[in-house]
Structure 1
Amino acid sequence: MPQELPGFYFDEEKNRYFPIKGPIPGSARSSSSKSRKPSTQKSATSSTKESYTCKKLRNRTSKLLLVRELYGDVIASHKRKCSFKEEIHKIRASKPVVWKYQGTERIGVSALEQILIDVQTLEGQSEADVLLTGSISGPLIFCEVGKFGQHFYGGVKCMPDCVRHYAKGQTEEHDEMAGPIFRAAGSSLHFSGISCIRLCQESSSAVGDGPNFRHVLFTTLGSETSGGSIYTLNLSEPLDIGPGIPNIWSRISRVASFNCTLWNAECDYNRHRAVIGTNLGAASVDLETGRTSWFLRCKSDVFAQQFVNSGNVILCGLRNGAIITVDFRQKRERFSSRLVTHRIPYPPDKTIRSSNKEWFKLTGDIYPSHTIRMPSSISCLVSLQYDDQYFLASSMDGSIKLYDHRLLKRGAVQSYEGHVNSHSRIQLGVDPAERFVMAGGEDCKLRLWSIKSGELLFEDKFSDSVLSTVCYRRYRNMEDEYKHNNNLGAWLGSPEGLFYMHWK
């Protein structure tokens, strides 16, 4: 048995040790921090007597500022130390402003993305802020954000109503007003139910530029009789706007169709491929030729997928609660195109067994030793971009956990309590700076946690239906990202309509 070395983990597949880079979010402080001089410990103890816990300090911003002036950016509490900047971000996240948009019922229940696109008008080329929405029972809809229909002529203007303002002493007049959204005439593209929308990120050639989203990938759910399809929408050239109807249909291409239910997809446009999750397994699809290669076959639906390790590894979340790891760098033998059959054992914990079986069978190019199980069907998977060895996973029993892909056998490194779910596919929303994770619940409440500490920062009900989708505004370059880093806004979709939540 390999010995545990501080700062390293052992990879059984490669039979060697690898260093663990950086602290695990939410983990305890290292033992070296405890071995300090007695004088230092006494000074820290004396300062904590005059300070407050971080949670109590957040109730009074003025006292938080006072403590910083006395003790500096690192604030000592009775139980731990906290950063002044982190606590300020938590204060803002716990006191958002929420708007509800009129006339947006059921348009963003299953898919929601916001993107900046170039449009060509009679006055010349300009930029439009567009919200793409979709639902299982409805079409793909283009909505322009905050321009009063400046680019999309004719249609319906949806105005926002402020439904919550959590900052004490503040009113709607004291804050930035949310702009309207405009549903253009002819911008609803009718398909057989939208199951997901993904922005295809392309690498940027200019230094300092952010991601370029020049293509949109979306899927239709289909069924076992009709089947789902995968499409791409080309936005690499400015979208032509006529006197009435946007010329969108000519930009849409059907990549492939399937005789199965298509639950989700993920896009890796730098490799011109997408991966899809179905009721028959998971497959890789060439976006140029439509050629499909199945890398996972199983009897359990693939409800969620997520690329990690710069697209070399794909995580697949199954209906039976398993999260399967597939490494595309491991090539199959040339003389055999058949998938390898694996028997995955159920964990010894009887609380997450769905039957008396001790194992389940699947075929695919997977790492059996990297398979983990959650208590119920996987609802969502999200990989963190700053360090994609970490990923968030949620299951339909209400569990939300943070995992380190290098330390899967040790279990989750952080848990987030309070989420309510029993059978719904609910998205997790992570802000661009990756400080917070939010999710709607079946009790119609929205909750927001600190990714690092696992602390529940916000919990309230302002919708009468489940908030099942969430997306954040994306920017084209690092300058805009830095400029708007402290001015966050998230879109929330539910059967009741669209909501916009803003932190100043």
Structure 2
Amino acid sequence: MTRDGKPLELPGLYWDEERRRYFPIASRAKRKSIDEVAQPAYTDVKSSQWRRTVTSRYLQISRAGKGNFSQRLRLADDLEGLSLVNSYTELDPSLRPLTWQSSKIASFCTATTDDTLNVLVGDSRGVLHCSRAVNKTMPGINAGPDRFNDNSRLFTSYHLGSGSPIVKIATCGNLVVAVSNTCDSCLLAIRDLKAPDYSGVSFPRIDSTGDIRAASLLDKSLVLGMSNKLVWLQDVQSSIRNHRTLHTRSDVLSIVQSPNTITAGLRSGEVRLFDVRTRGDASTELIGSRYSKRSDWELGPSKDMKSRMAHAAVTHLQGVGDWEMLVGTSSGELEMFDLRFATGTRVEPTMSFKGHVNSYLLDLGITIDPTSSILFAAGQDRRIRAWSLKSGEQLGTVLGGAQLASPARALAVTQRDNNLRGGKWLWISQEDEIRVLRLGQPSS
């Protein structure tokens, strides 16, 4: 690098700004540009046309008194989603919990316990930062994210001692588990959010090696996704040494747990279901070979076809309701499947969310709001898009389509109260800061 921070021009090599490394020119992937893949002009026009159609249709049905209740409710939900995505108020300044040296944000999540909003950040030096907002005038009632930039904030840090980044944070109820790698083991920080700050935390170690790429917590059951295996701890608070290893033959990038099963999304493009009540590594393949082989799909109403010449890594899995599962891949697919019909050679999604931009990144932020009505996804093009989970249509681009300084590695949506129509906050985590948007009009 030059003195002014610009990369040198080295013969036979090129500088990859995303990965901050030099690579041989011959290894540069010959793929379409972001604009060609995303087709933003088509997306913007289609989204605008759909907004006008939904609004017009709802007014027609309301005036004529026609349409069944479910149809009118779905249109109302879509209109509310459009309002939330296309109007916002940003918390200023952005959150910056790491105020010393050169630490970066390595992992992020939020958790709500007893109406208290907890913000959890793992940094690049192995420190877990726990912050929660407190309203001094109304004790016990959460004041929302707008309290994080004043003096009504409790802040505690825990040093795991590994010196390595906290790569994943998993939460369930009042329990939080932060995970960090060392050369020969895996270090955990287990935090009870309801306990006093320094009495409700422990730092156990697991004797298992491998890069950790995913983590899932269900009650006290912790599952870690690693290189070619899953590590399952039935009770993370008592049986650390008695963990079980399930071999997957490919890196685990995403995990969903249920009381008796573990579903793993693999780098190979497979989605595999493990029943923990049985012995051995036997598993069932879900969704056939939809992502593990070459594929073609339509890009839009122009009927242009987009081709995936190889497999796509399954980077995101998330359960929705009782039977559905959201799947995201490294080639830009975002699809919903009914798990009751997820086995077989040709499994089709119940809903496809078109317009997501990704061609190789494995850690883009994807989240669903607490009411399971809106899907938010960060794109490789540094934009965040939203879709209706009722209709599958794109609601628009957050921040008016403006690009972030860097791709968002984690997203979260919190809600001020239990009211389904209550205010929503979108948290956008980047390596240097966390931007917070209050979605919708201020009066909502």
Q: Normalising by structure 2, report the TM-score.
A: 0.69
**2:159 maps to what in 1?**
189
SS in 2 for 1:481: coil
Q: How far did 1:424 drift?
A: 2.9
Q: How far did 1:322 drift?
A: 0.9
Q: Deviations over 1:114-172 (max 9, x none)?
A: 3347xxxxxxxxx8533111244552112233759x99xxxxxxxxxxxxxxxxxxxxx
SS in 2 for 1:376: coil
Which among 405, 408, 411 is matched to residue 470 of structure 1? 411
Q: How far did 1:488 drift?
A: 1.2
Structure 1: which 5+ residue stretches go unaligned? 1-52, 118-126, 152-175, 202-212, 240-246, 333-337, 354-373
Q: How far did 1:378 drift?
A: 1.6
Amino acid at match of 2:109: L
Structure 1 residues 65 and 179: alpha-carbon distance in aligned structure 2, compared to 1, 3 A threshold: farther
Structure 1 residues 313 and 447: alpha-carbon distance in aligned structure 2, compared to 1, 3 A threshold: same
**1:369 maps to what in 2?**
none
Does the 8 Å contact 1:284/1:295 carry over to 2?
yes
Which among 414, 439, 442 is matched to residue 380 of structure 2? 442
SS in 2 for 1:90: helix
Structure 1 residues 398 and 349: alpha-carbon distance in aligned structure 2, compared to 1, 3 A threshold: closer
Does the 8 Å contact 1:218/1:231 carry over to 2?
yes
Does the 8 Å contact 2:213/2:253 carry over to 1?
yes
Q: How far did 1:90 drift?
A: 2.3
Structure 1 residues 382 and 498: alpha-carbon distance in aligned structure 2, compared to 1, 3 A threshold: same
**2:185 maps to what in 1?**
227
Which among 375, 378, 388 is matched to residue 314 of structure 2? 378
1:455 pairs with 2:396 = no
Larger Rg: 1
- CA–CA distance in 1 between the matches of 2:50 and 2:363? 34
**2:425 maps to what in 1?**
489
Which among 112, 132, 141 is matched to residue 120 of structure 2? 132
**1:359 maps to what in 2?**
none
**2:302 maps to what in 1?**
none
Q: How far did 1:107 drift?
A: 5.3
Amino acid at match of 1:67: Q
1:405 pairs with 2:353 = no
Does the 8 Å contact 1:381/1:394 carry over to 2?
yes
- CA–CA distance in 1 between the matches of 2:213 and 2:371? 28
Structure 1 residues 263 and 347: alpha-carbon distance in aligned structure 2, compared to 1, 3 A threshold: closer
Does the 8 Å contact 1:147/1:180 carry over to 2?
no
SS in 2 for 1:262: coil
Q: CA RMSD in A?
A: 3.8
Does the 8 Å contact 2:270/2:292 carry over to 1?
no
Give runs of aligned pairs for residues 15-94 of structure 1, distance below 5 A.
55-57=51-53, 66-67=59-60, 69-72=62-65, 74=67, 83-94=74-85
Q: How far did 1:407 drift?
A: 1.3
- CA–CA distance in 1 between the matches of 2:413 and 2:145? 17
Q: Deviations over 1:252-271 (max 9, x none)?
A: 231534222222221222xx
Amino acid at match of 1:294: R
Does the 8 Å contact 1:403/1:414 carry over to 2?
yes
**1:115 maps to what in 2?**
112
SS in 2 for 1:88: helix
Does the 8 Å contact 2:121/2:128 carry over to 1?
yes
Q: Normalising by structure 1, report the TM-score.
A: 0.61
Structure 1 residues 465 and 73: alpha-carbon distance in aligned structure 2, compared to 1, 3 A threshold: farther
Q: Deviations over 1:421-441 (max 9, x none)?
A: 222312321011101111111
**1:297 maps to what in 2?**
247
Amino acid at match of 1:403: F
1:351 pairs with 2:344 = no
- CA–CA distance in 2 between the matches of 1:304 and 1:138? 22
Q: How far did 1:324 drift?
A: 0.5
**2:270 maps to what in 1?**
322
- CA–CA distance in 1 between the matches of 2:387 and 2:271? 23
Structure 1 residues 146 and 234: alpha-carbon distance in aligned structure 2, compared to 1, 3 A threshold: closer
Does the 8 Å contact 2:129/2:158 carry over to 1?
yes
**2:357 maps to what in 1?**
420
Q: Deviations over 1:40-74 (max 9, x none)?
A: xxxxxxxxxxxxx863155xx6x677535412374
Structure 1 residues 350 and 145: alpha-carbon distance in aligned structure 2, compared to 1, 3 A threshold: same
- CA–CA distance in 2 between the matches of 1:189 and 1:349? 40
- CA–CA distance in 2 between the matches of 1:231 and 1:70? 57
Does the 8 Å contact 2:324/2:338 carry over to 1?
yes
**1:124 maps to what in 2?**
none
Equivalent pairs counted in the alignment come to 355
Give runs of aligned pairs for residues 252-267 of structure 1, distance below 5 A.
252-254=202-204, 256-267=206-217
Q: How far did 1:221 drift?
A: 3.6
Structure 1 residues 226 and 249: alpha-carbon distance in aligned structure 2, compared to 1, 3 A threshold: farther
1:392 pairs with 2:326 = yes
Q: How far did 1:88 drift?
A: 2.6
SS in 1 for 2:83: helix
- CA–CA distance in 2 between the matches of 1:194 and 1:260? 14
**1:47 maps to what in 2?**
none
Does the 8 Å contact 1:302/1:319 carry over to 2?
yes
- CA–CA distance in 2 between the matches of 1:91 and 1:82? 14
Structure 1 residues 352 and 423: alpha-carbon distance in aligned structure 2, compared to 1, 3 A threshold: farther
Give runs of aligned pairs for residues 266-305 of structure 1, distance below 5 A.
266-269=216-219, 272-285=220-233, 286-287=235-236, 288-305=238-255
Q: Deviations over 1:339-371 (max 9, x none)?
A: 459999967985269xxxxxxxxxxxxxxxxxx
